[in-house]
Amino acid sequence: MPDIRLHIDDSGGDGRPVVLIHGWPLSAESWDDQTDALVAAGYRVVAYDRRGFGRSDKPDDGYDYDTLAADLDQVLTDLDLQDVTLVGFSMGGGEVARYIAAYGQDRLRSVVLAAATPPYLLQSDDNPDGPLTDDARLEMRAGLEADRDSFFDEFTTGFFSTADGLQVTEEQRQQAIALAQQSSQAAALAAMDAWATTDFRDDLGAISVPTLVIHGDGDQTVPFEGSGRRTHAAIDGSELHVVEGAPHGMNVSHAEEFNRALLDFLAR
């Protein structure tokens, strides 16, 4: 493993491995609905907490995507996983893209990009379709710096909401807040900077294994038009599954449809 300890949940067994990479600011426990379905279908499920989050070590640095991709490579190498499907949710989609650009696809069978941040969130002169303005980014960062509790309360509400309101139970939202609170403040801020400002457009060009892009059309955190649709267009031969009426946290709010789309893709 890297010079830090990453917490890894590994179902074991002889099934084909599926590696789940969680979103910001949660942990591998946010995949519980998927883990149960995948294990029941016979897959070996590996889900780890990103450095700084959940039950993993929380160093002061190392939250750029090059380092995070190196962490993912170390997980795959140490467990000697082959014929892997990588499933990256939100921020985790960036790790998938950067991993492939840096380490290749020899260990991979396929990838899934779920409500993922690529190709490039930050709006700029050369990225006019980026859905995140710099003013909005700075306002969000200042909110987290000023009042962590209030920020996570507001963020999780948006995470699970569409224009029609909250799409999960209050209990489910509170569970997400509890996972977010496990992050270190240094990690939360630095990882926010990473997913908000990293350009993955060149990384996506390195992906040639079968790819599923799945996104909710009601996503208010990583809007579909500025992210999932563009990623689908950028990866030749990728499949697109749009979950109607789903927010960013669609793997919880629309778990049944999400799992069905994932399992159908894996079965091919």
- Enumerate the active-site residues: 90, 219, 248
Paired sense of beta strands 44-48 and 17-21, if any: parallel
Owner of token pair 């799992």: 259
* Buried/exposed 214-223: b ≥16 CB within 10 Å, e otherwise: bbbbbbbbbb
- What is the distance between the alpha carbons of residues 239 and 65, in angstroms, rounded to a whole number? 25
d(C-alpha 177, C-alpha 215), whole Å: 22
C-alpha dist (Å) from residue 58 to 6, 71, 119: 9, 13, 27
- Nearest by Cα to 166 from 246, 256, 90: 246
Closest CA to 250 of 265, 238, 260: 260
Q: How far is CA 87 from CA 21, 114, 146, in A?
A: 6, 7, 33
Task: From 249, 32, 256, 257, select the one nearest 162 (Cα to Cα).
Answer: 249
The residue written with tokens 């099934």 in the block is 15
Cross-strand bridge partners of residue 132: 122
